[in-house]
Structure 1
Amino acid sequence: MKKHINMLREFSVPLISGVAVALLWVNLAPESYYHFDFDKRFGLFSFHFIVNDFFMVLFFGIAAAEITQSCLPGGDLHPLRKAINPLLATVGGVVGPVVVYLALNAIIGDPSLRRGWGIPTATDIALAWLVASLVFGRRHPAISFLLLLAIADDAIGLAIIAIFYPDPTVPVAPQWLVLVVSGMGVAALLRRRNTQSYWPYIILGGGLSWAGLFMAHLHPALALVFIVPFLPHPPRETKHIFEEDPQDLSPLASFEHEWKVMVDLGLFMFGLANAGVQLTTIGDATWLVLAALAIGKTGGIFIMGWLGQRLGYPLPSKVGMKELALVGLIAGVGLTVALFVAGEAFTDSINQGAAKMGALLSVGCAIVALIAGRVMNVRRIEG
C-alpha cells in the first residue's frame, strides 16, 4: 500500500486527477459544480474556503520547512554565496513573467486585465519536480535548483496576493497583524523552552498567525510561513531539498514527514476546488497568462541565471546553459499557485476563468521541456 501511495504522489496523480474531475464536472454540470464548491456547509464554510484557507496553510508550511532546512549549514542555500544564483534566477522568474504580461496587455490595450500580472509569477512545485525528474533524472543538481526556485516564487506569489490583491469590498486592517507577531512570539518562547513536539507551535503559534492574517483581511494560507522556522532542527542539513533524512527526528523534520503525504494526496481537493474552468471561457487573459509563463519564466530565469554566473556566482555543478534554459521552461508550469492567484486577481467570472485556463494550458511547457531535453541530448543522472 505504501509503495502504491508513493507512486501516486511521485507522479502527481492526486493533483492531476482533481484538475481532470473539476474540468469534466464544470463543463458537464456547471450549476452542480458551483453549488458544491461555493455553497456554505451548515452555514459555516464552503469547500473552496476549506481548501484554500485551511488546507493550503499546510502546503505552504511544508514549503517553509524546506526553505528553512535549505538555509542550514550543508543545505542548498548555505552559504549565502551559494544561494545568490538561485535567488537571482528566482527574481528573473518573477519579474520576467510580469514584464511579458504587462507588455502584451499594453498591446492589447485592455485595462481590466492589468490586475492579472501576479498570476504567472508562480510555479507548480509538484509538477515541476515530476517533469524535471523525467528530463534530468532523479539525482541531477538541476532539480534542487529548480525546486528552490519553485518554492521561492510560490512564496512570492502568496506575498503578492497579500499585498496587491486584498478584497476590494473589505479594507485591510493591519492592526490585527499583532496576532501574527504574537504567534511568532509564542513559537519563539516554545523554542527557547526546547519544546520537542511540533503541535504546540502549530496549534498555538499557527492559530494566532492564521487569525491575525484572516482578521487583517490578508490571505491566511501564509500562516505557518511565520511559525515553521521556529521549529527546532539539527545544526546541519545533510540532504538536498525534498530528500528525507531517516536519522532526523527533530520537530521540523517530523512536521514535514508526517504531513507531506496528506498534503500531496490533498492536492486532489485543491485541483477540484480551483480548476473548475469552463472551456468556453478562453479569452485574452488565457493567452496573456500562458505567454507570460512560457516566455517570461523561461527568459527571466535564463537571463538572471546567466548574469549571476557572469558576476561570479556559479550555477550548480553539471548545470550549463541548456540545463538552465530547460529549468526556466519547466518552471513555466504554473498550475497550482497560478490557479490560486487567478482566483484572487479577478473577481468577475469571465476574466477569472480565462486566466485559469491559461494556467491550465501552461502544462504544455512540460511537454515542450520533455521534447527539448531529448533534442538537446541532456545527460540524465539517476544515482
Structure 2
Amino acid sequence: MYRVWNFVTNYSLLLILGALFALIWANIDAHSYHAFVEFVLIDDFFIGHAHTDDHGHVHRTLTLHYLVNDVLMAFFFAIAAKEVWEAIILRNGSLRGKKAATPLFATAGGMFGPIAVYLGIATFLGSDTLSAVSRGWAIPTATDIAFSYLVGRLVFGAGHPAVRFLLLLAIADDAAGLIILAVFYPTGDLAPQWLLLSLGASVAVFLLFNWLPRRMDRGDQLRSHSTRVRKLLSYWPYAVAGVLSWYGFQQAGLHPSLGLLPVVPAIPHADRAFGIFSEAETHLHDLLNDIEHMLKHPVEIILFFFGLLNAGVEFSAISAPTWLVLSGLLIGKPFGVLLFGWLAAKPFGLGLPAGMRTVDLFVIGCVAAIGFTVALFIASVAFPAGAVQDAAKMGALFSFGAAMIAIGAGRLFRVQKQHL
C-alpha cells in the first residue's frame, strides 16, 4: 500500500487537491470563483483569448484560465507526447509490433463504444438535446493514465499482465486524444499557413542541434560534437523552438496546448524505451528524458491549477450532459474494450498476453473509464462556458466512480492479483 500511496503523491495528489478546492469554492461562492478563473492578467496582448472588434481587428486577452489551460498545460501534453513517441519509435517501444495489436484494437473499442453510447442516448432524448450536446462526443473517449494505472494496480496487482495491457491502451488513447483535440476542436478560424512556423522550428532545431552534431561525430566514439552542443546549449534551442511552435499553433487556430508536440520528436532521445512509470526511466539521461525529469514537479503544480481552474462546478449544474458523459465512460468503455479486444484476440487470432483472460478485458475497460484530467480538458474546449460545459465537466468528475466499479468487477470475475 505504501507504493500505491507513493504513486498517488508523485503523480496525482496536487491535481486531486486542486479539483476538491475548486468544487468547494464554486459551491460556496460561485461568483468569486469564476471571477478568479477569468481574472485578466494582461489586456490587448499577443497571446490569449481572441476577440474581434467592430472594425475586424483581433484583440487578445490573457486570462488566468488561458495561461493555465492553453500555455502551461502544453508541458503536460508534451510529456504525454514524449511517452507516445517513445512507445512508437524506439526499440522495445510498447506500441510496436504484434504485442501492441490487441491493445490497439481495444483502444479503438474504448473510443467508439463511448461515442456510440453518448450520441445514441442523446439521439434518444431528442433532437434538441442532441444539437446541444453533440460537440461533446469526444469527452467520454478519454482515459486518465495516472489514475487508471493506480486503480489497475489495486485491482490486478502490479505484476499482472493486464496492468501493462492497460498502460498500452491508455498511451494509445492519449495519442488518439491529441489527434482529436487538434482536428475536431480548433480554437478559432483556421490559418494553416502558421503551422509552417511550427514545422520550420521543429525541423531547424532537429537538423542544427541533433542531426548535424551526430553526423559530425561519425567514427568518433567520444561523440565530441554532440557532447559540446549538449554542454553549451542544453535544452535552450528546443525551448526557443517550442515557443515558436506554440505561437504557430495559436495563430493557426489549433489548440495551443498542443503546440509543443512537433518539437518533441526533434529532441535527442535514448535508443530504447522502458515504458511509462518505469523506475528505469529515472536512470536515463538523454536530453529528452532529462527534460521530462526537469518538468515533472512543475507539471504537478500546473495540474493543481488545472484542477483548481476547471473543476469548479456547482452541483446544481448536473443535467443531461452529465449522464451522457458518465454513460459513455461507464458503459461504452468496458463493453467497447471487451468487444474489440475479443475480436482482436479470438476471431483475428492476435491473442492476449499470457496470464490474461478474455473477461479481464471488461475489467480493464472499467478501469479505463476514469476520464478525469483529459475528459475535463476536452469538456472545456468542446463547449463554451456555461451550463452545458459545467454539466459535462461534472460527468468527467463523476467518472471517479469507475474505480469502485472496477474493484467490484475484479472481485465479481475473480481476478487473481499478481504482485511483483
Give the structure-1-normalised TM-score: 0.92
Q: Which amino acid aligns with 2:178?
A: L
Aligned residue among 359, 368, 379 for 1:331: 368
Question: Cα distance 1:299–1:352, how it changes in 2: closer, same or farther (>3 A)?
Answer: same
Mapped to 2, the partners of 1:145 and 1:263 lie a distance apart of 26
Tell me the residue number matched to 2:305. 269
Matched, 1:112 2:132: yes
Q: Which amino acid aligns with 1:119?
A: I
Aligned residue among 72, 75, 78 for 1:58: 75
Extract unaligned runs of 5+ from structure 2: 44-60, 214-225
Equivalences for residues 146-157 of structure 1 within 5 A: 146-157=166-177
| 1:294-324 per-position Cα deviation (integer Å, ceiling 9, x unaligned) | 1111111111111111212232232222221
Tell me the residue number matched to 1:368. 405
Mapped to 2, the partners of 1:302 and 1:191 lie a distance apart of 43
Equivalences for residues 311-326 of structure 1 within 5 A: 311-326=348-363
Matched, 1:223 2:267: no
Aligned residue among 116, 126, 145 for 1:99: 116
SS of the aligned residue for 1:45 comes to strand
Q: Contact 1:91 / 1:304 at 8 angstroms: preserved in 2?
A: yes
Deviation at 1:267, TM superposition (A): 1.7
Tell me the residue number matched to 1:380. 417
Matched, 1:36 2:56: no
Aligned residue among 284, 292, 303 for 2:328: 292
Mapped to 2, the partners of 1:191 and 1:215 lie a distance apart of 27
Tell me the residue number matched to 2:46. none
Deviation at 1:157, TM superposition (A): 2.5
Mapped to 2, the partners of 1:298 and 1:4 lie a distance apart of 24
Aligned residue among 78, 97, 102 for 1:85: 102
Tell me the residue number matched to 2:389. 352
Question: Cα distance 1:253–1:135, how it changes in 2: closer, same or farther (>3 A)?
Answer: same
The CA RMSD measured in Å over matched residues stands at 2.1
Tell me the residue number matched to 2:295. 259
Aligned residue among 273, 285, 289 for 1:249: 285
Q: Which amino acid aligns with 2:278?
A: E
Q: Contact 2:198 / 2:245 at 8 angstroms: preserved in 1?
A: yes
Percent sequence identity is 43
Extract unaligned runs of 5+ from structure 1: none
Question: Cα distance 1:214–1:198, how it changes in 2: closer, same or farther (>3 A)?
Answer: farther
Mapped to 1, the partners of 2:345 and 2:319 lie a distance apart of 39
Give the structure-2-normalised TM-score: 0.84
Considering only CA atoms, is the larger Rg found in Structure 1 or Structure 2?
Answer: 2
Q: Which amino acid aligns with 1:81?
A: K
SS of the aligned residue for 2:417 comes to coil
Mapped to 2, the partners of 1:218 and 1:32 lie a distance apart of 30
Q: Contact 2:203 / 2:266 at 8 angstroms: preserved in 1?
A: no
Matched, 1:14 2:14: yes
Mapped to 2, the partners of 1:7 and 1:302 lie a distance apart of 28
Point out 4+ residue stretches in structure 1 off by more than 6 angstroms: none
Mapped to 1, the partners of 2:277 and 2:319 lie a distance apart of 37
